[in-house]
């Protein structure tokens, strides 16, 4: 299998991104790591004052668990996490309003449903933007802008996002295909090579139907990108670039498959705009031509 060396850490998340990282990665952590994450998110000022031993005692875990949690959240060590906690505490003390409860009940009035969903969408967008690694994003944009061909894999709700990305790329004159059928995805991935791009979209990071074609594309030498809410999931093993999304909290009436689309669509728009900027001389005329081709359908 093709072997590629990847950096273990990028730039540590800014303080504003810490809470977003905890919300995004919490469900995939062990229970002991969740206790550490919940503690730092719930009381950043208090935890910033603690040594690694003190935080381990507070959460009933071990020093090793505290360090592993810090690393999973994107910090090289506990010292870096403490600095981020101090920054987050300062931001909270500046007067930012507390988060509202957004659980939707069966008997909620429709006005409350609208307000709660709107808040969730705003929080998801803010969390995704705060946690997005712009170096990884820039590298993915560069690969897309120069690709001979781009294949995008997604099933279910993520399949709709895959279609959205491909139709955007097509409108600026690039060759792109969306694949939701796992068999077609793999048979098309076999045809990829260096200079091509393959993108897998999976909120869970463990959807086999998109991981398999991404693995094939990776082994064929294509540049691979994962758009996922679980950057520690199996899909990242075959991704040259990982773009992490956040999501509103899952509930009975709004499963992750629905709420994850908000963050995914933001990442897709960032990719598209970045590529359009890089290819402006050809993208602008292509966009204009596609608009003119459809204009008559919008005239009354």
CATH code of 153's domain: 3.40.50.10490
Say if residues 122 and 247 touch (Cβ distance below 8 Å): no
What share of residues in the chain are helix, strand, coil (percent, to 5)? 60, 10, 30
Q: Does residue 90 sit within a domain?
A: yes
* Same domain flag for 36 and 160: no
CATH of the domain at 79: 1.10.10.10
Give me the number of domains the chain comprises.
Answer: 2
pLDDT digits (tens, 9 = 90+) for 259-281: 688 899 999 999 999 999 999 99
- Tell me, yes or no, whether 106 lies in a domain: no
pLDDT at 119: 79
CA distance 63 to 50: 12
What's the CA gap between 12 and 115, in Å, rounded? 33
Structure tokens at 35: 């206790």
In the DSSP assignment, the letter for residue 181 is S
Using pLDDT thresholds of 50, 70 and 90, give the confidence band for residue 251.
Answer: low
49 in a structural domain: yes
Does 3 fall in a domain?
Answer: no
Co-location of 170 and 54 in the same domain: no
Give me the pLDDT at residue 275, please: 97
How far apart are alpha carbons 179 and 153 in whole angstroms? 5
- pLDDT digit string, tens, across residues 21-74: 777 777 778 999 999 988 988 888 899 899 999 999 999 999 999 999 988 888
Residues 84 and 121 in one domain: no
Has residue 298 got a pLDDT over 60?
yes
Asked if pLDDT for residue 10 goes beyond 70, the answer is no
Other CB atoms within a 10 A radius of the CB of residue 175 amount to: 13
Say if residue 258 is in the same domain as residue 225. Answer: yes
Q: Across the chain, what does the average pLDDT equal?
A: 85
pLDDT tens across 216-249, in order? 999 999 999 999 998 889 999 999 999 999 865 6
43: in domain: yes
Question: What does the DSSP assignment read for 99-111?
Answer: PPP-PPPTT--HH
DSSP code for 254: B
Q: Of 87, 62, 73, which Cα lies nearest the Cα of 37?
A: 73
CB-based contact 240:223 (threshold 8 Å): yes
Domain hosting 169: range is 115-296
pLDDT for the residue 148 = 96
202 lies in some domain? yes
104 in a structural domain: no
């Amino acid at each position: 299998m093709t072997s590629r060396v990847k950096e273990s850490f990028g730039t540590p998340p800014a303080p504003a991104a810490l809470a977003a990282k905890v919300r995004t990665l919490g469900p995939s952590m062990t229970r002991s790591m969740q206790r550490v994450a919940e503690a730092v998110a719930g009381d950043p000022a208090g935890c910033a004052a603690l040594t690694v031993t003190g935080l381990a005692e507070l959460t009933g875990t071990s020093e090793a668990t505290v360090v592993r949690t810090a690393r999973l959240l994107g910090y090289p060590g506990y010292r870096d996490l403490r600095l981020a906690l101090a920054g987050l505490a300062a931001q909270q003390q500046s007067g930012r309003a507390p988060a509202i409860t957004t659980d939707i009940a069966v008997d909620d009035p429709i006005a409350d449903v609208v307000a709660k969903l709107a808040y969730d969408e705003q929080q998801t967008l803010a969390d995704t933007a705060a946690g997005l690694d712009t170096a990884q994003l820039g590298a993915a944009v560069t690969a897309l802008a120069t690709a001979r061909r781009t294949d995008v894999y997604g099933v279910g709700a993520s399949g709709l996002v895959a279609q959205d990305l491909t139709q955007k790329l097509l409108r600026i004159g690039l060759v792109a295909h969306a694949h939701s059928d796992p068999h077609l995805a793999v048979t098309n991935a076999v045809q990829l090579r260096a200079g091509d791009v393959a993108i897998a979209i999976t909120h869970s990071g463990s959807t086999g139907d998109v991981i398999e074609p991404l693995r094939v594309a990776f082994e064929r030498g294509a540049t691979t990108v994962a758009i996922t809410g679980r950057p520690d999931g199996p899909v990242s093993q075959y991704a040259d670039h990982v773009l992490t999304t956040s999501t509103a909290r899952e509930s009975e009436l709004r499963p992750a498959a629905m709420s994850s689309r908000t963050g995914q669509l933001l990442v897709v728009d960032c990719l598209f705009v970045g590529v359009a900027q890089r290819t402006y001389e050809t993208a602008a005329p292509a966009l204009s031509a596609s608009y003119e081709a459809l204009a008559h359908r919008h005239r009354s």
